[in-house]
Amino acid sequence: MNDNKKKSFKRRDFISTATLAGLSLSTLSTKASIPTTKPSSGKRMIGELEVSAIGLGCMSMTSGHYNPPRNHKAMEAVVKGAFDRGVTFFDTAEYYGPFTNEEVVGNALKDIRKQVIIASKFGFQFDGNRPTGRNGRPEHLKKAAEGMLRRLKTDYIDLLYLHRVDPEVPIEESAGAVSDLIKEGKVRYFGISETSPETIKKAHAVQKVTAVQSEYSLIERVHENQVIDTCGELGIGFVPWGPVTRGFLADKFNEYSRFSDDSRFASVSYYTPEAIANNMALLDLARDWGLRKGITPAQFSLAWLLAQRPYIVPIPGTTKLQHVEENMGAIDVNFTVVELKEFRTELEKIKLVGVREPESALTNK
């Protein structure tokens, strides 16, 4: 974003997002509680953890999910550069690579370890480098954590998520394993990813949950259906992955985009030719509103997420520092109550294709 654009929207006298986010702005219910600890400027609280209001998703830096794997040294520079630009919340996982992503993040952050929050995820079984399914058994999780600490070059992980709930293992057992890791000082806080309100409550009863990480963007809003409010009621942060819908809301694709069978995008339901063509209406809406507020569609999409609740911290993924800068620009964007209502009305008129069914929010993905 250029300086003129930055200045132009900073000059505007909008009511602050943080103030508004506690009000009834959307179809999300208003039962959600607001954290009492006040974060510093540009930061947010997820549970008791203070993090930059926008984090950095590191997944595609190594695993070739959305792009060919990148040079590791170059990606370490992106992670470090993101810290220099205000990011303190870094998201990785054992699954990414697998394993190599944690090495990149660990190498990049080892000299500034105490100034950053490292979030990683576990809960999969591997045969060498090949993932073979979920494994939430306590003995497996505890062993996996040792490898994660080694790769991350640290003696503690700030936030450790169960990446997916193992249907074969009661969530209480997996949560109990994290509880033990916390007692041993190897982990500070517990999170879960892509899970139902019921599972969140069960896990929270065993070990306080600090963050739930699930997909949430202007296109994929299924977790507005109970999950986000459950987080608010229990004082849990909500961390949207896919906040720019894997690039779509960052204007990376258009109705002519097509993906080969071996591309990760080929298996994503909102990336079929029909879905892309249909959902362009939403990108157009984000573009229009972006123009109106002097920002890009990616910034608009991220700012809108931030405006939904004060405990929401998106983690856009990128391999490029210029995109980190653009995405961080969303923190300065504020909305009036009227704007949010008006936007929500326009948003709900668009019938999206390829999104999850509402009841899927009540199950573990």
Ligand X SMILES: NC(=O)c1ccc[n+]([C@@H]2O[C@H](COP(=O)([O-])OP(=O)(O)OC[C@H]3O[C@@H](n4cnc5c(N)ncnc54)[C@H](OP(=O)(O)O)[C@@H]3O)[C@@H](O)[C@H]2O)c1
> Catalytic site residues?
96
SS3 per-residue string spanning 129-193: CEEEEECCCHHHHHHHHHHHHHHHCCCCEEEEEECCCCCCCCHHHHHHHHHHHHHCCCEEEEEEE
Q: Is 12 in the site for ligand X (CB under 6 A)?
A: no
Q: How far apart are CA 63 and CA 76, in angstroms?
A: 14
Q: Is 244 in the site for ligand X (CB under 6 A)?
A: yes
Q: Is 66 in the site for ligand X (CB under 6 A)?
A: yes
Interface positions, 196-215, toward ligand X (CB under 6 A) = 213
| Segments of the chain assigned E as strands | 43-46, 49-52, 56-57, 89-91, 117-122, 124-127, 130-134, 157-162, 187-193, 209-215, 237-241
Q: Which of residues 237 and 243 has its CB atom nearest to ligand X in the complex? A: 243
Q: How far apart are CA 305 and CA 308, in angstroms?
A: 5
Which member of 288, 320, 348, 363 binds ligand X (CB under 6 A)?
A: 320
Q: Which of residues 235 and 242 has its CB atom nearest to ligand X in the complex? A: 242
Q: How far apart are CA 86 and CA 120, in angstroms?
A: 20
Interface positions, 115-174, toward ligand X (CB under 6 A) = none
Q: Is 57 in the site for ligand X (CB under 6 A)?
A: yes
Query: Taking the complex as a whole, how short is the minimal distance between the CB of residue 236 and ligand X, in angstroms?
Result: 15
Q: Is 193 in the site for ligand X (CB under 6 A)?
A: yes
- Helix and strand numbers (H, E) in the chain are 12, 11
Which member of 123, 243, 310, 329 binds ligand X (CB under 6 A)?
A: 243
- Stretch 73-92: interaction string toward ligand X, x if CB under 6 A: ------------------x-
Residue 139 CB neighbours (<10 A)? 9
Q: Is 252 in the site for ligand X (CB under 6 A)?
A: yes
Reported as type and span, the H/E element at residue 327 is helix 321-328
Which member of 298, 307, 330, 361 binds ligand X (CB under 6 A)?
A: 298
Q: Is 194 in the site for ligand X (CB under 6 A)?
A: yes
Which member of 106, 232, 237, 242 binds ligand X (CB under 6 A)?
A: 242
- Token pair for residue 262? 């071996």
Q: Which of residues 252 and 356 has its CB atom nearest to ligand X in the complex? A: 252
Q: Is 9 in the site for ligand X (CB under 6 A)?
A: no
Name the strands in the sheet holding 117-122, side by side, starting at the edge strand that comes first in the sequence. 56-57, 89-91, 117-122, 157-162, 187-193, 209-215, 237-241
Query: Taking the complex as a whole, how short is the minimal distance between the CB of residue 282 and ligand X, in angstroms?
Result: 14
Q: Is 245 in the site for ligand X (CB under 6 A)?
A: yes
- Measuring CA to CA, which residue among 273, 247, 190, 254 is closest to residue 59? 247
Q: In this structure, are strands 89-91 and 56-57 parallel, antiparallel, or unpaired? A: parallel
Q: Which of residues 17 and 327 has its CB atom nearest to ligand X in the complex? A: 327
Query: Taking the complex as a whole, how short is the minimal distance between the CB of residue 203 and ligand X, in angstroms?
Result: 15
Q: How many residues of this chain interact with ligand X, rule: CB under 6 A?
A: 28
Which member of 26, 52, 60, 195 binds ligand X (CB under 6 A)?
A: 60
Residues that bind ligand X (CB under 6 A): 57-60, 66, 91, 193-194, 213, 241-247, 250, 252, 298, 315-320, 323, 326-327
